[in-house]
A and B are shown apart, each in its own frame.
Chain A
Amino acid sequence: MVCLGLALLTASRARRGAADPVEGAVVRADPVARARAALTRGSRAVTVIDLRDDARFRDSVAQSIEQSPGVSLRSLGDPFAATSVTLRGATGAHVVVALDGVVLNDAASDGVDLNLVAPALLERATLYRGAAPLHLGGGSLGGAIELHTRSVTAPSVAQVSLGFGAFGTRRAAATVAGRSGPWRALAALGYRHTDGDFSFYDTDATPDRAGQFRPRRNNRADAVDLLARLCHQRAALRPGACLTALVSGRARGVPGVVPFESEGPFFTQSRALVRAELPLVSRRYTVAAFGTAMRRADRFVNDGPVPLGYGTGDRSETLVGELGLRAHPGVEGRDGLHAMLRARHETFRSLSRGGDGEASRSALFAGLEAHHTFARLHLDAGLGLDALVDARDGLAQRRALLSPRLGARVVLTPALSLRATLSRAARAPSLGELYGDRGSLQGNPALVPESAYQADLGAVFEARRGRSRVFTEVALWGRRADDLIALAQTSRATLRPFNTGAAWLAGVELDARLQILDYLEISVSYALTESAQIAPGSALDGRALPFTPRHDVGLRASYQRARWRAGAELSGRSAVWLERANVASVPGRALVGAHVMVALVRRPTQRVWLRAEVNNLLNLRTLSEDVTLGDRVFTRVVALQDSFGYPLPGRSVSLSLSWDYES
């Protein structure tokens, strides 16, 4: 890829060594380009994904980040279904997900469903593989994903998109934004719906017999998301006082695993988030005060036949309030001291037939990070301290978590640089793990936090010739995780979490992108991940961690010319183990997608786009694996899936129409 890029660059008609005369201006005006430029100057392994063009045509933000190196998704069905991310072998609970700086991982759950955020509301996603920045706290054992909602850069913007597709999928999104003097306002509304009735391969609970295709049941989902922001800013990308509100509601059937789909179970989730930021800008430092209030409410209803042990009306509510101060020199990414102080209080209430419960966590996070550049050497060092108090039924537990980090970047040539980081992260047990749910999960107050040391070494090659550009990053990384928490059965109907041991992980990542002139872009990502549990004396010692594919590859090509845009992508991965003993696995697979867009209207201030997209183009709906039964070897066919029993859809086609206005 690099060689091909160099050859093409050499052949380019652009003048050797000439910088793009408008690059600086573009970076200043474009929030995504600016974030990318700021972050890639540092020592972290980071990828900034522009979601403005594609995300509004998609059902899930997960679809847009899947191609990034080191990212593996685990979906429980269609793009509306719960999706968790595995980042460098770290599963849901070990990946921090934040929205506009607000950490969405709460003390009551063990990960964030990426599909809770409507993709149409988002501007960019920043993936931190390994060490995460200070403002995301110290709990990212594997990395972090920060989602950013849209910012207002133009005097007035309007965007409306409509889409429909296979399995009753419908999407609608509208955004209006504008500015008047220092005031900037944005309002966005998104609606998503699916019938979810895709067909899947079902063996009718007899996996050793031939099956048949039948439609998924009770898989309908609706989601409504509303974003509103009002800012007082002197310039688009300068800090300003902002008030942001995000309200989301989702309702969906819970079909469960096949072949035991249930008609009755239904799940509703609502999330409301309000965040206020008040920056106090001085000549050298920006100090911003912020406050966030967040409420998450989940309700599970089962009005169908009730399987044994299922509740019929379980509810839970999480309330989060936080206040903090954040300081950094000038604009973000500059050298100097970065500081963060955040107080956060979370209350979790559950009401179920097993009993009601309430627990809380109060946390104070303080962090300091120093960035400095000496000629070609950039150094950064930081330390975060989390002081936590967990409480339930009058009993309180206190703990302190340290998260130090060191990083360096050396610019060897204008095109080639090396970077390295060394960091430690720690995640406190969730409130459920500590105190139980008064149902099937028993608490274990003796749990200690999970922690991980990680090291990362990368080489970045980036060159630009005229309107062509090549970017290649190769990274080697390693992590040792300790005191990992896993569940074990303690009675006929209960599970309890235990600290069960440690693991080593190491990997190689390749991220290569080649842009040829303005119309062709090819990107390749590949991750090789090795993992081994450390459990001396146990059969698990040396075995791989579950849900971590050894090979994960993504290929993407996009083309744009005049009023046409087209793209194709391939996402493939090897088999993943489903449990720690490495006995049960899901076979590997490769999925192909493609899209084509045409600008029906192309005026200076207006665009009307028509887009057709095909996911799982080759209609892969089954996977094969060899099984030995008795004295014979058979080939068993299973439904396409990421995890036990949750089938993924076959080929789906969607059509979208979008009107963009910008003055």
Chain B
Amino acid sequence: MRAAALAIVSLLSLGCGGSPAGVEATDCAALAGRLLGAPERRRLLVIGSNFTTGVAFRIDPATMQTEPLSLGVTGDTVARMAGDALVLLHRSQTQGDNLTLFDARPVRPRYVCQLALSRDDERVRGLRPWVNAHDVVALDASTLAVARYNLGSLAVIDLQRGALTRTVDLTAFQGRAALPYPDAMARVGDEIWVSLQRLDDLVHPTQPGLIVRFDAALTRVVGTLALPYANPYGPFRRLDDGRVALATLGDYSVIGDGGLLAIDPQSQTVTVLRDEAALGSNLDGFVFFDAERVLLKRAGARDGGGGEVGVRFTIEGGDAPRELVQRALWAPAFPEVMGALGWVGDPGRALGDDAAVRAFTRDGDAIAAFTMPDAMRPYDLLPVP
């Protein structure tokens, strides 16, 4: 009787169910010293999302074969490469808000480690903030910098120590905005550039966008660059002539307040390559085939009253513009160019019907379509080894 009572008491006090453990954490240092290489990128990583959860797979353009990957992606995950590291930025409120590293060298990416992107002392009244990382760049062979969109700051991650070592506050540059909202990062020569969207708390821009230029170690601000339009959106891209291109979206509910910009790193002059007024749509993604042709992702205006909002992918330049895809839904994935082909994330119809990654030539001819698994919509595209 006493034994039975003791057993019951033990059961009650110990609890039941899985013991609090986690996935075995491998040492982040396995990727230390390997962040600056440039392994040849021969395949396209596709992240799919239904906004609740996500999937990943790879396309090999040489064979036009696909291969599913188990990367643990969430409903809001984007991927970046840094040397040998495949960096996943998870931004899901429910499934993880962190940086997860895989070694991209093996045939199948190898899980390395997962790190939180906020410090304990950044907890607001004991609560962890939602970081919502938007981009990452390697500062050196063992150090990463992450744009913390919701915190208005950058985080510096030391892989040797497997920890966030310091943060860089950007609120001095937010102006009238609720936060600076750092979006994209890029290494430009000896500098690290960070684009700031400077939005209010209802996602409307408050003033023109800004690029903050840091030294390569992210220890001091070298300068800033005011943009002619508001709300820089999406990645920096390098043009063949050395200029850096960037899309500015302006206000999502206004057409004509944004455009595609090219910035000369030397002179800091900004040239408007395309403007929304001429395009007749918002511009929220682009990639250049070459100096002449650009693949644009164009979104309709949000009218707030139930009007149609959609996406168009077009190739501009050269001959008459070619329309590649037009849908009533929005497409999150930025287009990519790899293997002389333009890659487009087609959102399909409602809830992922017909959603596919489609490949086009620079002339706009359709080459291949890869149906998205699990009726997910393409969320991010990234050339990988």
Contacts and interface: CB of A to CB of B under 8 A. Distances in A.
B90 to A, nearest CB: 8
Interface in A569-606: 578-584, 589
B330 A490 contact: yes
A620 B53 CA distance: 25
Contact of B98 (A205, A581, A619): A205
B17 A621 contact: yes
B16 A263 contact: no
B375 A309 contact: no
B12 A491 contact: no
A617 B252 contact: no
Contact of B128 (A205, A210, A442): A205
A210 B22 CA distance: 4
Given A535-B353, A619-B16, A636-B23, A490 B329 contact: yes
Interface string A342-363: 0000000000011100000000
B201 A306 contact: yes
A494 B350 CA distance: 14
A169 interface: no
Contact of A624 (B18, B302, B373): B18
Contact of B127 (A260, A494, A539): A260
B20 A210 contact: yes
Interface stretch (B101-109, B211-219, B265-273): B101-109
B71 A629 contact: yes
Contact of B24 (A217, A617, A634, A651): A634
Contact of A635 (B21, B55, B371): B21
B209 interface: no
Contacts of B160: none
Contact of B108 (A444, A579, A630): A630
B291 interface: no
B124 interface: yes
Interface stretch (B111-119, B315-323, B336-344, B358-366): B111-119
A578 B203 contact: no
A79 B376 CA distance: 34
Interface stretch (B37-45, B59-67, B222-230, B303-311): B303-311
B97 A618 contact: no
Contact of B53 (A584, A628, A629): A584
Contacts of A442: 306, 309
B259 to A, nearest CB: 17
A438 B24 CA distance: 45
A630 B306 contact: no
B201 A309 contact: yes
Nearest to A634: B23
A262 interface: yes
A483 to B, nearest CB: 12
B248 to A, nearest CB: 14
B370 to A, nearest CB: 13
B51 A618 contact: no
Contacts of A486: 350-351
Interface in B355-385: 371-377
B284 interface: yes
A442 B350 CA distance: 14
Interface string A230-262: 000000000000000000000000001101111
Nearest to A494: B302
Nearest to B49: A489
A627 B18 CA distance: 14
Contacts of A631: 106, 108-111
A212 B50 CA distance: 29
Contacts of B106: 631
Given A308-B201, A488-B351, A617 B309 contact: no
A498 B203 contact: no
A632 B201 CA distance: 41
A641 B352 CA distance: 27
Interface string A431-449: 0000110100011110000
A498 B306 CA distance: 12
B335 interface: no
A180 interface: no
B4 interface: no
B299 A492 contact: yes
Contacts of B371: 539
B150 A578 contact: no
A644 B52 contact: yes
Contacts of A632: 110-111
B55 A260 contact: no
B102 A630 contact: yes
Given A537-B353, A627-B72, A209 B375 contact: no
B129 interface: yes
B178 interface: yes
Nearest to A614: B12
A204 interface: yes
A211 interface: yes
Kindly name the residue among B71, B128, B375 whose own CB sees the greatest number of chain A CB atoms within 10 A. Answer: B375
B286 to A, nearest CB: 16
A300 interface: no
B235 interface: no
A540 interface: yes
B21 to A, nearest CB: 5
B15 A618 contact: yes
A352 to B, nearest CB: 10
B127 to A, nearest CB: 5
Nearest to A357: B305
Given A624-B17, A637-B22, A630 B352 contact: no
Contacts of B350: 486, 488, 498, 500
A644 B25 CA distance: 23
Q: Max chain A CB contacts within 10 Å: which of B25, B51, B306?
A: B306
Contacts of A262: 127
B130 to A, nearest CB: 4
Nearest to B69: A630
Interface string A57-88: 00000000000000000000000000000000
A316 interface: no
B300 interface: yes
A634 B376 CA distance: 24
* Residue from B23, B124, B178, B371 with most neighbouring chain A CB atoms (10 Å): B23
Given A207-B22, A260-B128, A580-B375, A630 B111 contact: yes
A652 interface: no
B306 A493 contact: no
A171 B375 CA distance: 47
A305 interface: yes
B252 A492 contact: yes
A91 to B, nearest CB: 14
Contacts of A308: 132, 150, 178-179, 181, 199, 201, 203
Contacts of B330: 489-492, 494
B71 A579 contact: no
Given A491-B302, A498-B351, A619-B15, A637 B21 contact: yes
**Among the interface residues B20, B114, B372, B376, which one has the most CB atoms of the partner chain A within 10 A?**
B20
B309 A629 contact: no
B201 A491 contact: no
A307 B128 CA distance: 12
- 3 closest residue pairs by CB, A with B: A624-B18, A584-B53, A645-B94
12 contacts: A205-B117, A208-B22, A213-B20, A262-B127, A308-B199, A444-B306, A492-B299, A496-B309, A540-B351, A618-B16, A628-B72, A630-B70
Given A262-B127, A579-B50, A627-B70, 4 more contacts: A308-B181, A491-B309, A622-B20, A631-B111
Interface of A: 201, 203-213, 217, 256-257, 259-263, 304-310, 312, 353-355, 435-436, 438, 442-445, 486, 488-494, 496, 498, 500-501, 535, 537-540, 578-584, 589, 617-624, 627-632, 634-637, 640, 644-645, 650-651
Interface of B: 11-12, 14-25, 50-55, 69-72, 93-98, 100, 102, 106, 108-111, 114-118, 124-132, 150, 178-179, 181, 199, 201-203, 252, 284, 299-300, 302, 304-306, 309-310, 328-330, 332, 350-353, 371-377
